[in-house]
């Protein structure tokens, strides 16, 4: 099957994520965003004018009916990732889905099966692994500078970061989970990527919902949960994950807890010859932010702050998605969503472990 010189793309969802997709696609030569879908009519019209997008739809089903599309991206609430992606794959379109892959592993597995059946690309937006500090750390680990990593801790924590109460984010039916599914999936993804995709043996997790239901942890106009404003997911979760080779990964993800006010991503890894600590603040300054490497030279500390390249983020994800499509049928099979599915299955196991208060083997 030949790949057209100009790829025609549709973007479903025009919230923060969808807008990143539109901007990123519009920066790629030979890619035309020809359609967008979203329920915010005014915003849709504004984006169509700004990016010269011919078609706008309120419903994703109508966007998929458009003739001539080559690919779509899916940037809608998580419960819609599977139905939209599967419908698009069945029409022979390539799909870039936002994270998390789906609400759970079962839905994710159906997406992967649809990609394989269709023989099309299914890629998932893990933009944080494209950060400059993460790509630098990946090189440092792969070059053996830290020796054999045996312990890692990855967290993303907020003081008052619960997304809008009563929105899809706080409904397990619509989101599949709380901060573990929302933020935890990013740090889980880059931690496993940095560690070289080790097999997961078991998880033992706890999940709490202590602040959200009381109207705490969500900014100034956040109100207590009510019949119409449900808070039914966790607001903090922690997981102890055993990996093959005796390696341990601890993941913490929280929208709200009494802690430093910065919205902070924190990753540390200890290896047999060195360690690394990364601290990234998304809001407010954090004094000791950046990527630090701890190692010895002739038994003397030889620690240093690593210089990191620019962040890739959504643009790097979209560039790779387009390159995969252009790579033709030989490479499409490498992009079937199965890496994202491993993350979904681990998160499922974490929720099961938290619910049943026991270790769950994978
Ligand atoms: N990778 C990242 O850094 C990142 C950041 C934020 C969100 N996300 C992910 O992106 C997705 C969307 O998040 P968001 O914050 O942009 O959400 P949002 O609520 O701001 O926007 C959702 C969009 O989906 C549209 N939509 C909903 N139902 C629809 C339907 N039936 N047909 C057509 N459009 C429909 C809405 O109209 C809206 O435009 C989620 O999966 C989220 O996890 C990823």
Tell me, in angstroms, the distance from the centre of ligand 1 to residue 203's CA.
29
- For the chain, what percent of residues have pLDDT higher than 90? 88
Q: Which of 271, 280, 206 is nearest to 238 (CA)?
A: 206
Protein residue closest via CA to atom 44 of ligand 1 = 17
Instruction: Please report the pLDDT score of residue 164 as a whole number.
Output: 80
Strands (E), the chain: 7-12, 31-37, 55-57, 71-74, 94-97, 122-124, 149-157, 200-208, 236-243, 248-254, 263-271, 274-283, 290-297, 300-301, 304-305, 360-361
Of all protein residues, the one whose alpha carbon is nearest to atom 31 of ligand 1 is 59
Any atom of ligand 1 within 6 Å of the Cβ of 181 = no
CB atoms within 10 A of CB 74: 29
Best residue among 44, 55, 75, 78 to mutate for probing ligand 1, ranked by most atoms within 8 Å of CB: 75
Distance CA 191, CA 323 (A): 25
Is any atom of ligand 1 closer than 6 Å to the C-beta of 82?
Answer: no
Of all atoms in ligand 1, which is nearest to the CA of residue 126?
A: 1
Q: At 207, is the secondary structure helix, strand, or coil?
A: strand
Closest by alpha carbon to 236, among 152, 350, 134?
A: 350
For residues 12 and 84, the answer to whether their CB atoms sit within 8 Å is yes
Nearest ligand 1 atom to alpha carbon 167: 19
Quickly state the pLDDT bin for 166 (edges 50, 70, 90): confident
Q: Give the mean pLDDT of the chain.
A: 95
Instruction: Please identify, by atom number, the ligand 1 atom nearest to the C-alpha of residue 63.
Output: 33
Taking the CA atoms of residue 272, residue 239, residue 313 and residue 69 in that order, the dihedral angle to the nearest 10 degrees is 130
Q: What is the pLDDT of residue 223?
A: 64
Is 50's pLDDT higher than 90? yes
| Mean pLDDT score, 60-74 | 98
Q: If 0-12 CB within 10 Å is exposed, 13-18 middle and 19+ buried, where does residue 285 land?
A: exposed
Distance from chain centroid for Cα 287? 26
Q: Return the CA Rg of the chain.
A: 21
With a CB cutoff of 8 Å and minimum separation 6, the contacts of 362 are 200, 201, 202, 203, 345, 346, 349
Q: Is the pLDDT of residue 218 over 90?
A: no
1 Cα: distance to centroid of ligand 1 (angstroms) = 32
Q: Is 125 touching ligand 1 by the criterion CB < 6 Å?
A: yes
Query: Closest Cα partner for 132 from 325, 289, 334, 287?
Result: 289
Ligand 1 atom, smallest distance to 182 CA:
43
| Residue 71: CB atoms within 10 Å | 22
Burial of 300 from C-beta contacts in 10 A (0-12 / 13-18 / 19+) = exposed
What confidence tens digit (pLDDT) does each residue in 321-351 have? 999 999 999 999 999 999 999 999 999 999 9
């Amino acid at each position: 099957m030949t790949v057209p010189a100009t790829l025609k793309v549709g973007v479903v969802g025009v919230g923060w994520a969808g807008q990143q997709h539109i901007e990123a696609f519009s920066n790629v030569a030979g890619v035309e965003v020809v359609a967008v879908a979203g329920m915010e009519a005014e915003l849709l019209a504004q984006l169509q004018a700004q990016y010269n997008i011919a078609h706008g739809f309120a419903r994703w089903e109508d966007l998929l009916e458009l003739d001539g599309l080559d690919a779509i991206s899916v940037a809608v609430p998580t419960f819609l990732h599977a139905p939209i992606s599967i419908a698009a794959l069945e029409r022979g379109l390539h799909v870039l889905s936002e994270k998390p892959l789906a609400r759970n592993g079962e839905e994710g597995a159906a997406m992967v099966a649809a990609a394989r059946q269709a023989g099309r690309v299914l890629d998932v937006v893990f933009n944080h692994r494209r950060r400059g500090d993460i790509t630098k750390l990946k090189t440092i680990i792969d070059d053996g500078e830290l020796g054999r990593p045996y312990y890692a801790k990855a967290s993303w924590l907020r003081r008052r970061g619960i997304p809008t109460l009563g929105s899809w984010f706080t409904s397990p039916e619509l989101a599949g989970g709380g901060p573990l599914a929302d933020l935890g999936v990013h740090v889980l993804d880059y931690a496993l990527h940095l560690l070289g995709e080790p097999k997961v043996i078991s998880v033992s997790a706890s999940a709490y919902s202590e602040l959200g239901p009381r109207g705490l942890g969500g900014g100034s106009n956040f109100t207590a949960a009510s019949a119409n404003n449900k808070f039914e997911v966790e607001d903090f979760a922690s997981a102890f994950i055993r990996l093959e080779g005796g390696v341990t990964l601890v993941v913490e993800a929280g929208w709200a807890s009494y802690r430093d006010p910065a919205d902070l991503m924190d990753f540390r890894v200890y290896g047999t010859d060195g360690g690394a600590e990364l601290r990234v603040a998304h809001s407010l300054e954090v004094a000791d932010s950046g990527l630090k490497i701890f190692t010895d030279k002739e038994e003397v500390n030889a620690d240093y702050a690593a210089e990191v390249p620019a962040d890739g983020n959504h643009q790097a994800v979209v560039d790779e998605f387009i390159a995969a499509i252009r790579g033709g049928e030989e490479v499409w099979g490498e992009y079937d969503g199965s890496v994202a599915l491993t993350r979904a299955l681990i998160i499922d196991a974490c929720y099961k472990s938290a619910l049943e208060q026991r270790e769950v083997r994978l």
